[in-house]
Structure 1
Amino acid sequence: MATDYKRILVTAALPYANGPVHIGHLAGCYLPSDIYVRYQRAQKRDVKFICGSDEHGVPITIRAMKEGITPQDVVDKYHALIKDSFAQMGISFDIYSRTSSATHRQTSQAFFKKMYDDGLFEERESEQYFDSEKNMFLADRYIVGTCPNCGNENAYGDQCERCGTSLSPEELINPRSALSNAPLVKKATKHWYFPLNDYEGFLKEWIVDGKKDEWKPNVYGQCKSWIDSGLHPRAMTRDSDWGVPVPIEGADGKVLYVWFDAPIGYISATKELLPQSWDEYWKKEDTKLVHFIGKDNIVFHCIIFPAMLKAHGGFVLPENVPANEFLNIEGEKVSTSRNWAVWVNEYVQEFPDMQDALRYTLCANAPETKDNDFTWKEFQDRNNSELVAIFGNFINRGMVLMHKLCGGKVPAFHDDAKEERDIELIKEIMASKAAIEKNIEQYRFRDALYEVIDIARKGNKYLQEVAPWSLAKTPELQVENQKKIDNCLHICLQLTANLAIYSNPFLPFTAKKICHMLKVVDKMLDWENGGRMDLLKTGYPLRAPELLFRKIEDTEVEQQRQKLEERAIAFKAQQMANEPKPQTVVEEAKAHELKSIIEFDDFAKIELRAGTILSAEKVQKADKLLKLEVDLGFEKRTIVSGIALHYQPEDIVGKQVTVVVNLAPRKMRGIESAGMILMAEDANGKLIFVSPETTVGAGSEVK
């Protein structure tokens, strides 16, 4: 438990400064770590929250190459963008540093040099691919060639981005340099290897024997698998001109391996934050060190970095590494190369003052034990059905009724009029504190958030049962009923104050708004105040209620889904544009042969019918879409078609078309489309209707 430690040091994985952050990043480690830290601060514990940009490694240089700028230009641009995105989402780092800083260079070089001086590295020579034209060794991402799996001529040395197959440079057909397009040669190079195999015994005792009941199953299982499979020496240096130079003789042109220098960034950032006392957080045994990461970083934070700390000596080891799984978007994996992502900087621009709506959704659907899926529909439902209809509705009703029935002041609680349901709700408020606390301490943030929304739900139920608005309508029982009204609204207002405390780790912007309405200082948000029923004094005047959340409309989420689809189409078009075009009819036929063969039974499932367009109109705020009403003979259907750039609505009314009639309905811009119009594309990219040669009856089957 946190109370066993004098201080807590929390780190969140250093994001690569080669692009913006997306909501998958937030859900993976930054939101969970912020919730945990905000809770620990509310507990008045000594906690420091450390993060920063990872500014070295191949992804940075690849981005620089694509944009035609220097690696330093890349990291300067994206460091600022990422830092601002985190701040706007309320991720409350004590410091957000960067690994290109002088402090980091000195710290990581000193760490390496001590290990080198202690004789902990193995010096090895091996052959690696070399670009003679650029006079440099190439990392896997600098090597391209033909994928042996799908024939993509521009597959990278570590992965084919067309088919997703993991590769090595040796597997590529005709490998060449991505920098110069020159053929490759192999050349001997020297590197320093860290013998991880020497630390198998330590890691087995520390993790396999010691963390089974403490760490999340996904983290423990991955670590045990690595250890059971046997560890091997790993090179801790690379041939590159971008990174932290290796600080020993005979290492010219070599830098520290990014996964050696990046985790040391936690230490160097702490030094920047606390130059006089940083070592207390890293070297004293009464420090609780917690790494928040995504599952793709487990091996580095649980195997390699702890082994480095152990080898160096003098550092504490992580008490826990609560890694989350991945968050998919609309049923597909996040892909930055395909631009299939919801970028945080775009979200805060398009949904201003709605940070907590996103924080709530990402936590409520957090990928804590398995990959989860974010959809804009769920985002809308969570916001409208839970934040607006439950949490916000309860607080607003209580505040409105207090102003209407109690003169705008906190009413007294009358013991002589209390009822069993009053007592039960008070008990629930107190019990919620313990449940939230236990779940946060055990890194179950989704369950903790459920307790917050559940106590608001119980408050709504209680308010509905007492119905103070009805009690106020019986003047013959004015005195007796006013006491019941007072008691009800007194409890509701005290619950509102408690909701500010309980929600603060999750919804910090909302908690501040509640404090403003209640006319209390942020000091009330200290965790020790949770469960109290005297947070608001009797007779204290409160401000007028303000809506905490707004509803999200169908058109808003449809626009976001449309944006994702348009980006996916644009990426596919760009890929096709970059691929060699068939030069002859024969070559074109060969290109078509690459498509998968289907059985007749598959084709027979498609039902095609002739239809007549009865009306057509443009869809608002959608340049490419037309809303069509199509007569199929047996019924009329609404179909949304992306042909607005090719046809005016008035030009196609009366046109006969071929319709796929058994396609599952789908909403587009809030309109349910029940079918698809078949089109062909000419050499100039214009869409042409696939229509019967002669007029046929509407609904005629196309075979």
Structure 2
Amino acid sequence: MSSPKRRLLVTSALPYANGQIHIGHLVEYVQTDIWVRFQRMRGHEVHYVGADDTHGTPIMLRAEKEGLTPKELIANVWKEHKRDFDDFLISFDNYYTTDSPENKKLSQSIYLKLRDAGLIEMRSIEQAYDPVKEMFLPDRFIKGECPKCGAKDQYGDSCEKCGATYSPTDLKNPFSVVSGATPIKKVSDHYFFKLSDPRCETFLRDWTQVRTPLQPEARNKMKEWVGQPGDSNLGDWDISRDAPYFGFEIPDAPGKYFYVWLDAPIGYYASFLNYCESKGLNFEEWVRPDTTTEQYHFIGKDILYFHTLFWPATLHFAGYRTPTNVFAHGFLTVDGEKMSKSRGTLISAHSVIESGFNPEWFRYYFATKLNDSMEDLDLNLQDFVARVNSDLLGKYINIASRSAGFLVKRFGGVVSDGAMNNPLLADIASASEKIAELYEAREYAKALRTIMELADKVNAFVDENKPWEIAKDPEREPDLQRVCSVTLEAFRLLSLYLKPVLPEVTAGVEDFLSVPAMTWNDVKTPLSSQNPIKPYKHLMTRVEAPQIEALLAANL
């Protein structure tokens, strides 16, 4: 049963243009991409957009250190990020930058709408200032001794040793990371988004607790902030930074710039606007408050606060539609521990490709771990090798290699008409809606378990019918063609179910089976005797343990 056609705008969080993409980042993009590819297979109109997050003090300082302008630096990093996403088959419709004319226009327009709504307030605040570099210092650019435990070389907002949080002014013996100088205190005018305004409190309480089907963990976390009427923990949000700063200048405020977290999420819309203008789509139709389109954001749980409080409030009070939902995932650990440069487990995306790994190995393994919760997931390297080889090679790919050769050599690649009437194929085809529901719900681990259980049934069918034995008896040619045809039809169905996860392998399968690009409805479309299959070619190789060792060594 086909579902009504939906119109979906989907985003992943914007990677900061101050570092490379590593496999921890890729969990999110793979999660999003699987969902997007599934929705496209269902026939929905889906637009998946992203961008590099390019503004802020770290970008400015790194560019200066490397002898580049900030724009030169972010252009270089954009190319690296886009290369990595392409290598891992992340199917963005548009991958852009937050340092764009579209983002500047939208950010300034949204700010002015918030100001006109009485939600922007200017206040004088005292901040740490570097007297040598002549710049105000973000918390992370101040270090010193923890005021709680005395640990040296701790950042200005939290202690990595004891976990304490504090203000930069609480640090003992503070120093500027930029120049080494002792910061001084200096007053500056800043602009605040009045999130504590009763209008914002009322809206966010309704949006997070009633209107939006947030994950239970996310809803409970937001409840701590929105509280009950008269009991909110929402504070006003400082959305400005002082020059020198790489970003967009605030209208009517010379020397003041939008804090990166103000214009970064607006970058979702800027990327989509850029895409709409290139494709002739009506941007306003997608983002106006009464639109029937859907809007989904995939993010890490560490930025939930920005996406479920600041972002929907910004959109709502600036006259835009709010997200249909925000999907947060947990962090990636490697062999049960946080990723570590010293242990070689802070694995860059590019090193995976340079080490000769198939990116679909990682796409599959991550998918076997992903569900609809915010729990962390672990990349166990021994399990990775075993799971990929057992599931993908032993259970799935092996099915095609066990039957295709007989069909090509003995029957010209022609599949028997009526093979789909076999009870095994009826069983596999009947699972399509269950698997679709699991993909829709982001329960990828359950979906893949279901698919591999079906693969087990197919392999049991092959073992029971033994086509290699049937092939020895000239009088059983019809049986051989029937068994191999049923097996290949089963392989087609399994490939269709795996297509969101393994797009490149599936493209090879489609070519091998002489079928057009498969959609979800093709569960009902049997292989045709009019289009013989092609000779089988290896679709995937095994992963070997020495490859893991080489990958870790490459990241030390």
Is the partner of 2:403 in helix, strand or coil? helix
- Once the two structures are TM-superposed, the CA of residue 160 in structure 1 deviates from its matched residue by 4.4
Q: 1:500 aligns with which of 495, 503, 514?
A: 495
- Once the two structures are TM-superposed, the CA of residue 472 in structure 1 deviates from its matched residue by 3.1
Name stretches of at least 5 consecutive residues in structure 1 with no aligned partner: 568-703
Q: Does 1:403 align with 2:408?
A: yes
Instruction: Summarize the Cα distance change of 1:464–1:339 in structure 2 as closer, same or farther, 3 Å threshold.
Output: closer
Aligned to 1:394: 399
- Please list, as runs of the form range in 1=range in 2, the aligned pairs for 1:672-683 lying within 5 A after superposition: none
Could you give the per-residue CA deviations for residues 78-118 of structure 1, whole angstroms, max 9, x where no partner exists?
A: 11101110011110001000011122112211211222233
- Once the two structures are TM-superposed, the CA of residue 456 in structure 1 deviates from its matched residue by 2.2
Counterpart-to-counterpart distance in 2, 1:331 and 1:188 = 45
Q: Does 1:444 align with 2:443?
A: yes
Aligned to 1:360: 364
CA contact (8 A) 2:204 2:226 kept: yes
Amino acid at match of 1:499: L
Amino acid at match of 2:264: A
Q: 2:534 aligns with which of 521, 543, 550?
A: 543
Q: Does 1:348 align with 2:353?
A: yes
Aligned to 2:113: 114
- Once the two structures are TM-superposed, the CA of residue 336 in structure 1 deviates from its matched residue by 6.8
359-368 vs 121-130, which moves further: 359-368
Aligned to 1:520: 515
Is the partner of 2:21 in helix, strand or coil? coil
126-135 vs 400-409, which moves further: 400-409
Aligned to 1:325: 330
Q: 2:276 aligns with which of 270, 274, 277?
A: 274
- Once the two structures are TM-superposed, the CA of residue 181 in structure 1 deviates from its matched residue by 1.8
50-59 vs 290-299, which moves further: 50-59
Q: Does 1:257 align with 2:259?
A: yes
Counterpart-to-counterpart distance in 2, 1:146 and 1:159 = 10
- Once the two structures are TM-superposed, the CA of residue 130 in structure 1 deviates from its matched residue by 1.4
- Once the two structures are TM-superposed, the CA of residue 152 in structure 1 deviates from its matched residue by 4.8
Counterpart-to-counterpart distance in 1, 2:250 and 2:436 = 46
224-233 vs 354-363, which moves further: 224-233
Aligned to 1:40: 39
Amino acid at match of 2:458: G
CA contact (8 A) 1:5 1:287 kept: no
Q: 1:381 aligns with which of 372, 380, 386?
A: 386
Aligned to 2:237: 234
- Once the two structures are TM-superposed, the CA of residue 355 in structure 1 deviates from its matched residue by 1.6
Could you give the per-residue CA deviations for residues 312-370 of structure 1, whole angstroms, max 9, x where no partner exists?
A: 11x21111111111111122213579974111111112125x12111001111236531
Q: Does 1:12 align with 2:12?
A: yes
Amino acid at match of 2:83: D
Amino acid at match of 2:486: I
Counterpart-to-counterpart distance in 2, 1:17 and 1:146 = 29
**How high is the TM-score relative to the length of structure 1?**
0.73
Amino acid at match of 1:528: N
Could you give the per-residue CA deviations for residues 398-454 of structure 1, whole angstroms, max 9, x where no partner exists?
A: 212323453432234479xx8xxx31x122221221112111222222222323333
- Once the two structures are TM-superposed, the CA of residue 230 in structure 1 deviates from its matched residue by 1.9
- Once the two structures are TM-superposed, the CA of residue 308 in structure 1 deviates from its matched residue by 0.7
- Once the two structures are TM-superposed, the CA of residue 499 in structure 1 deviates from its matched residue by 2.6
Instruction: Summarize the Cα distance change of 1:559–1:338 in structure 2 as closer, same or farther, 3 Å threshold.
Output: closer
Report how many aligned residue pairs link the two structures.
545
Q: Does 1:293 align with 2:299?
A: yes
Is the partner of 2:327 in helix, strand or coil? coil
- Once the two structures are TM-superposed, the CA of residue 380 in structure 1 deviates from its matched residue by 0.8
**How high is the TM-score relative to the length of structure 2?**
0.92
Is the partner of 1:8 in helix, strand or coil? strand
Is the partner of 1:512 in helix, strand or coil? helix
Counterpart-to-counterpart distance in 2, 1:113 and 1:200 = 20
Q: 1:553 aligns with which of 531, 539, 544?
A: 544
Counterpart-to-counterpart distance in 1, 2:153 and 2:67 = 19
171-180 vs 465-474, which moves further: 465-474
Aligned to 2:145: 146
CA contact (8 A) 1:144 1:172 kept: yes
CA contact (8 A) 2:250 2:258 kept: no
Counterpart-to-counterpart distance in 1, 2:112 and 2:134 = 28
Instruction: Summarize the Cα distance change of 1:165–1:341 in structure 2 as closer, same or farther, 3 Å threshold.
Output: farther
Counterpart-to-counterpart distance in 1, 2:206 and 2:4 = 22
- Once the two structures are TM-superposed, the CA of residue 57 in structure 1 deviates from its matched residue by 2.3
Amino acid at match of 1:508: P
Instruction: Summarize the Cα distance change of 1:150–1:338 in structure 2 as closer, same or farther, 3 Å threshold.
Output: farther
Is the partner of 2:18 in helix, strand or coil? coil
Instruction: Summarize the Cα distance change of 1:297–1:339 in structure 2 as closer, same or farther, 3 Å threshold.
Output: farther
Is the partner of 1:321 in helix, strand or coil? strand
CA contact (8 A) 2:113 2:317 kept: no
Aligned to 1:73: 72
- Once the two structures are TM-superposed, the CA of residue 10 in structure 1 deviates from its matched residue by 0.6
Larger radius of gyration: 1
Is the partner of 1:238 in helix, strand or coil? strand
CA contact (8 A) 1:219 1:321 kept: no
- Please list, as runs of the form range in 1=range in 2, the aligned pairs for 1:430-469 lying within 5 A after superposition: 430-469=429-468
Could you give the per-residue CA deviations for residues 166-199 of structure 1, whole angstroms, max 9, x where no partner exists?
A: 4431231111222222222211111111111221
Counterpart-to-counterpart distance in 2, 1:244 and 1:92 = 28
Give the aligned CA root-mean-square deviation in angstroms. Answer: 2.5
Aligned to 1:601: none
Counterpart-to-counterpart distance in 1, 2:189 and 2:529 = 76
Is the partner of 2:157 in helix, strand or coil? coil
Could you give the per-residue CA deviations for residues 639-674 of structure 1, whole angstroms, max 9, x where no partner exists?
A: xxxxxxxxxxxxxxxxxxxxxxxxxxxxxxxxxxxx
Q: Does 1:490 align with 2:490?
A: no
Could you give the per-residue CA deviations for residues 146-181 of structure 1, whole angstroms, max 9, x where no partner exists?
A: 234565543221244566654431231111222222
Amino acid at match of 2:239: M
Counterpart-to-counterpart distance in 1, 2:45 and 2:321 = 17
CA contact (8 A) 2:414 2:531 kept: yes
Bigger relative CO (Cα 8 Å, ≥ 6 apart): 2
Amino acid at match of 1:491: V
Amino acid at match of 1:316: R
Amino acid at match of 1:219: A
Instruction: Summarize the Cα distance change of 1:340–1:380 in structure 2 as closer, same or farther, 3 Å threshold.
Output: closer
Aligned to 1:21: 21
Could you give the per-residue CA deviations for residues 186-240 of structure 1, whole angstroms, max 9, x where no partner exists?
A: 11111111111221211222221234xx332222222222222521111111124
Q: Percent identity between the aligned chains?
A: 33
Instruction: Summarize the Cα distance change of 1:167–1:377 in structure 2 as closer, same or farther, 3 Å threshold.
Output: farther
Instruction: Summarize the Cα distance change of 1:234–1:3 in structure 2 as closer, same or farther, 3 Å threshold.
Output: farther
Q: Does 1:208 align with 2:226?
A: no
402-411 vs 12-21, which moves further: 402-411
Aligned to 2:313: 307
CA contact (8 A) 1:376 1:561 kept: no
- Once the two structures are TM-superposed, the CA of residue 47 in structure 1 deviates from its matched residue by 1.1
Is the partner of 1:255 in helix, strand or coil? strand
Is the partner of 2:337 in helix, strand or coil? coil
Counterpart-to-counterpart distance in 2, 1:492 and 1:220 = 46
Name stretches of at least 5 consecutive residues in structure 2 with no aligned partner: none
Counterpart-to-counterpart distance in 2, 1:339 and 1:143 = 28
Amino acid at match of 2:84: S
- Once the two structures are TM-superposed, the CA of residue 61 in structure 1 deviates from its matched residue by 3.6
Counterpart-to-counterpart distance in 2, 1:317 and 1:281 = 11
CA contact (8 A) 1:145 1:154 kept: yes
